[in-house]
Amino acid sequence: MSSGANLSWITYFHGDRARLNERPLFLLAYMVSCAITQTFNHYRKDTDRLVLGLSKGKNEKQPDALKLVYHAIPHTFSDSVGGAATALPVAMVLYYAILRSFIWGWALMFLRIFYNLPKTNMLPPTWPSDLWLLFRCMEAGTLVHLIWNIGNFAFSSFMVKAPLKNGKPLTSESKDPNGSLLNGLKSKKLSIKAFAMWELAYIAQGFDTRRQAIYEDIDRKDGPMWSQVYSICLDVVKSIETRVDAYGKAPDAPPAAPSAEPKQRVSAPLRDDPIFNSRTAPTTMRSEVEKRLGQVARSPGESPASKLSPIAKKTWKEAKDRVLTKEQQELVAPEHLKGQFEQWTLRMMEIDVIASLFQQDFRTQFAAAVLGTPYAEPTLCINAIHVLHHLSVHSLAEDQFGNVHRDVPSIIRTFTTVIKKLEAFRIEFPLHWTDVSCKRVSPEVEKVVDALKTALQQVLASFEPYSSDLRLTLTDIRLAKEACADAKKSEMAEVRS
């Protein structure tokens, strides 16, 4: 550290008079403020999330994680400058209002061991935060935020790689590739199941040999490989329908424990009459108060004012009219006060920092209702749709045993039902009063709907000539075409607006 920065712990005045320098204390408080604001933004923006990818063709080039990090540096640098600037007012409040006297006293107590410092803990008369120190703080804060942000982005980029090794699926080197894949699909851990579904989507789309191995693997313990894959993927798609149907309904009550039968009494029950006080107690003020309080506790919905006599109500109204004007009565009315509070709250919701803490926007609430809580993974649903889509379409040329075509009608009907329920649910889903934007937009759910429509359209186009053999009725075909029609996109656009 250069001497011109004036950030040493001890400064000397008039020869050997050592004094504690407050500037590094303020810099320390500023770095603590950077940590606080970074922690807040880390949780608010969910920076540590891992966004899994979708299946791509065999010949499509995978993005290079190092290049992604390199291209993200300019945007990350601007975010770092903003984070450093945000931490500056936090440091001013934190240091001067809370920590200054505490840190000053402890620093003196520690440094007196090594330096001849004054015995008094009196604070300096001037503040240490001049323009040069604030510039130093911004410089240090920007670099620290840059390291944090690039580290977070690099971690999210390098940890999420396609489930391929040397251009082949990860399970290809296993002794039992299909068995290893099934173990991942049946895992109870969401991350393992999502990665296994991602690999299966790659296999279904671009690896002919592994795809044919799925069709031909019919001697497994729990059934043919296709049957197990079909059951797992269809359950993932049907879980969307289940959550939509269950939204807003009260959870099922737990089964009541069997009550023990009362035992018969051998003797007469004990008497609970008063022994010493046989006479009726006289009415007192305390007994009346206890009686009224008991009535209020037993009937909380009834207010004492509601039981006033008509004469008392008339007297109260006349007194209110004499004291307050009509405009004043309207201002203190409960409805007016409630409206004023709601307007003030909605204005506060327009501030991003406050809104991020209390706002419940449509995007988050709708995605939670459709994809589940607490950890929704849209790519699990989308990759499951891709698996059913590609395995069904390729089965026309590759399925020698004809196991897939028996399940195609169920796939078509399930996709049709889920699409229609999602579009109706989007329109009916209630907006929370803190959502000031009132936009019915949820990109995560939209990607699921688009995947369903694309899959349904291609499966229907491939199997419609065989509809009579598959026992698909004209109604099934008509409803499926309506669900995947492009005309629905205009309706979705109207909903977004």
What is the rounded distance in angstroms from the CA atom of residue 220 to the CA atom of residue 154?
41
Q: Is residue 267 part of a domain?
A: no
Q: Is residue 416 part of a domain?
A: yes
Please tell me the predicted confidence (pLDDT) of residue 495. Answer: 45
Please tell me the predicted confidence (pLDDT) of residue 490. Answer: 40
9 phi/psi in degrees, rounded to 5? -70, -30
Model-level pTM greater than 0.95? no
pLDDT exceeds 60 at position 351: yes
Percent with pLDDT over 90 in the chain: 31
> Are 398 and 432 found together in one domain?
yes
CA 383 vs CA 161, 195, 450: distances in Å = 15, 10, 12
What is the rounded distance in angstroms from the CA atom of residue 10 to the CA atom of residue 22?
9
> Are 133 and 65 found together in one domain?
yes
Residues in CB range of 378: below 8 A, 6 or more apart: 367, 371, 444, 445, 447, 448
Mean pLDDT in residue range 372-401: 89
Confidence of residue 146 (pLDDT cuts 50, 70, 90): very high
Confidence of residue 332 (pLDDT cuts 50, 70, 90): low
Residues in CB range of 296: below 8 A, 6 or more apart: 302, 304
Please tell me the predicted confidence (pLDDT) of residue 478. Answer: 92
Candidate ranges 83-87, 324-328, 338-342; pick with highest mean pLDDT: 83-87
Strand 164-165 with 168-169, pairing:
antiparallel
pLDDT exceeds 50 at position 487: no
Q: Is residue 283 part of a domain?
A: no
As a whole number, the mean pLDDT across the chain is 80
Q: How many domains does the chain have?
A: 2
The candidate with the shortest Cα–Cα distance to 430, out of 497, 353, 340, 369, is: 369
Last residue of a domain, one of 120, 139, 159: 159
Between CA 372 and CA 379, with CA 373 as vertex, the angle to 5 degrees is: 55
> Are 48 and 127 found together in one domain?
yes
Contact yes or no for 290/282 (Cβ under 8 A): no
Q: Which residues pair with 165 in a beta bridge?
A: 168
Q: Is residue 392 part of a domain?
A: yes
> Are 375 and 454 found together in one domain?
yes
> Are 148 and 210 found together in one domain?
no
pLDDT exceeds 90 at position 335: no
What is the rounded distance in angstroms from the CA atom of residue 429 to the CA atom of residue 451?
21
> Are 69 and 153 found together in one domain?
yes
pLDDT in tens, 24-41: 888 999 999 999 999 988
Last residue of a domain, one of 159, 189, 206: 159
Please tell me the predicted confidence (pLDDT) of residue 185. Answer: 93
Q: Is residue 281 part of a domain?
A: no
Please tell me the predicted confidence (pLDDT) of residue 409. Answer: 93
CA 153 vs CA 37, 49, 50, 65, 141: distances in Å = 18, 10, 10, 10, 18
Please tell me the predicted confidence (pLDDT) of residue 442. Answer: 87
Of 320 and 229, which is predicted with more confidence?
229
Side-chain-side CA neighbours of 386 within 13 Å: the count stands at: 23
Please tell me the predicted confidence (pLDDT) of residue 218. Answer: 87
Mean pLDDT in residue range 455-463: 93
Of 13 and 203, which is predicted with more confidence?
203
Confidence of residue 325 (pLDDT cuts 50, 70, 90): confident
How large is the greatest C-alpha to C-alpha distance in the chain, in angstroms?
103
Confidence of residue 497 (pLDDT cuts 50, 70, 90): very low
pLDDT exceeds 70 at position 298: no
Last residue of a domain, one of 116, 140, 159: 159
pLDDT exceeds 70 at position 150: yes
> Are 170 and 148 found together in one domain?
no
Q: Is residue 314 part of a domain?
A: no
CA 95 vs CA 32, 246, 255: distances in Å = 10, 50, 57
pLDDT exceeds 50 at position 141: yes
The candidate with the shortest Cα–Cα distance to 240, out of 431, 51, 451, is: 451
Of 24 and 494, which is predicted with more confidence?
24
> Are 168 and 153 found together in one domain?
no
Show the tokens assigned to 190. 């969401």
Amino acid at 353: V
pLDDT in tens, 188-238: 998 899 999 999 999 998 888 999 999 998 888 888 999 999 999 999 999
Q: Is residue 296 part of a domain?
A: no
> Are 211 and 242 found together in one domain?
yes
CB under 8 A, 24+ apart: contacts of 376-380: 376/444, 377/52, 377/190, 377/194, 378/444, 378/445, 378/447, 378/448, 379/51, 379/52, 379/53, 379/54, 379/194, 379/197, 379/198, 380/52, 380/190, 380/193, 380/194, 380/197, 380/236
What is the rounded distance in angstroms from the CA atom of residue 294 to the CA atom of residue 290?
6
> Are 361 and 454 found together in one domain?
yes
Mean pLDDT in residue range 441-458: 92
Mean pLDDT in residue range 468-472: 88
Strand 168-169 with 17-20, pairing:
unpaired
pLDDT exceeds 60 at position 491: no
> Are 138 and 109 found together in one domain?
yes
Range of the domain at 415: 164-247+357-496
Q: Is residue 301 part of a domain?
A: no
Confidence of residue 447 (pLDDT cuts 50, 70, 90): very high
> Are 130 and 170 found together in one domain?
no
Show the tokens assigned to 224. 């043919």
